């Protein structure tokens, strides 16, 4: 998977790609043959696209269209420009998670990607600034992602797959149990230490690889 260049961007108000971005891309790249042959995604959705690096790389790698969503309008502009420069088929919508788009994409998402704000913080930090949206996760780092979890069954298609970045403080096994109770197949497909963070990628799917 080719990593898009970001020399055209300023990272004062958007998230700069880091190890959490790269572990997500690595997980999807390793699953590439399965995604291409079995899932054949027609619609990919990335929530919290930031610089647009992940969705642009994935869209081009899998030769699919990606709908990116970000609460920060500056991130939406950055995503569109990164995709344009990378030659990827990406459109970005300024929204908070997926609620405004749910009627249009209900049960149509073949590939869902989320590198959420996962750092445990005080709740007030989540909305303290535009850049805080990119990393402040509130209690246990879960306040943002917990809002998405109930919507996943309504988003994914019959063959849909969801890749989620977590750290140990998010209690990954508890997150896995949430999706197991919803009837999904789950597997931790990637783990990596990055400084003090212990990152992992959880793959949630409706079919077994």
Q: How do residues 184-198 score in pLDDT, each as one tens digit?
A: 999 999 999 988 889
Give me the domain span that covers residue 119: 19-205
Residue 109 lies in a domain: yes
Residue 142 CA to residue 7 CA, distance in Å, equals 31
CATH number for the domain that contains residue 77? 3.40.50.150
Tokens representing residue 75 in the block: 């991130």
Residue 72 lies in a domain: yes
Residue 54 CA to residue 3 CA, distance in Å, equals 8
Residue 1 lies in a domain: no
Residue 91 lies in a domain: yes
Give me the pLDDT at residue 137, please.
Answer: 65
Which residues make Cβ contacts (< 8 Å) with residue 20, sequence separation at least 6?
A: 115, 118, 165, 194, 197, 199
- Strand 197-205 and strand 185-194: pairing? antiparallel
Residue 12 lies in a domain: no
Give me the pLDDT at residue 141, please.
Answer: 82
Write out residues in the chain with pLDDT < 50, as ranges.
none
Give me the pLDDT at residue 167, please.
Answer: 94
The distance of Cα 88 from the centroid of its chain, to the nearest Å, equals: 17
Residue 50 CA to residue 77 CA, distance in Å, equals 9
Residue 2 lies in a domain: no
Q: Which residues are paired to 205 by β-bridges?
A: 161, 185
Give me the pLDDT at residue 192, please.
Answer: 94
Count of the separate structural domains present in the chain: 1
Q: What is the pTM of this model?
A: 0.94
């Amino acid at each position: 998977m080719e990593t898009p260049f970001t020399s055209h961007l300023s990272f004062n108000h958007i998230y700069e790609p880091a190890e959490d971005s790269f572990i997500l891309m690595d997980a999807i790249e390793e699953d590439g043959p399965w995604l291409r042959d079995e899932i054949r995604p027609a619609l990919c959705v990335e929530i919290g696209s930031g610089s647009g690096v992940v969705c642009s790389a994935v869209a081009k790698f899998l030769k699919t269209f990606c709908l990116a969503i970000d609460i920060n309008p500056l991130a939406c502009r950055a995503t569109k420009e990164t995709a344009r420069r990378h030659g990827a088929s990406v459109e970005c919508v300024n929204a908070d998670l997926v609620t405004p788009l749910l009627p249009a994409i209900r049960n149509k998402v073949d590939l869902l990607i989320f590198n959420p704000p996962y750092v445990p913080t005080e709740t007030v930090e989540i909305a303290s600034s535009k850049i805080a949206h990119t990393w402040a996760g509130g209690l246990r780092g879960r306040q943002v992602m917990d809002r998405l979890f109930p919507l996943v069954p309504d988003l994914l298609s019959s063959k849909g797959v969801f890749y989620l970045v977590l750290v140990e403080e998010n209690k990954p096994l508890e997150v896995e149990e949430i999706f197991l109770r919803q009837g999904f197949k789950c597997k931790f497909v990637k783990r990596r230490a990055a400084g003090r963070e212990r990152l992992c990628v959880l793959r949630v799917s409706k079919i077994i690889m």
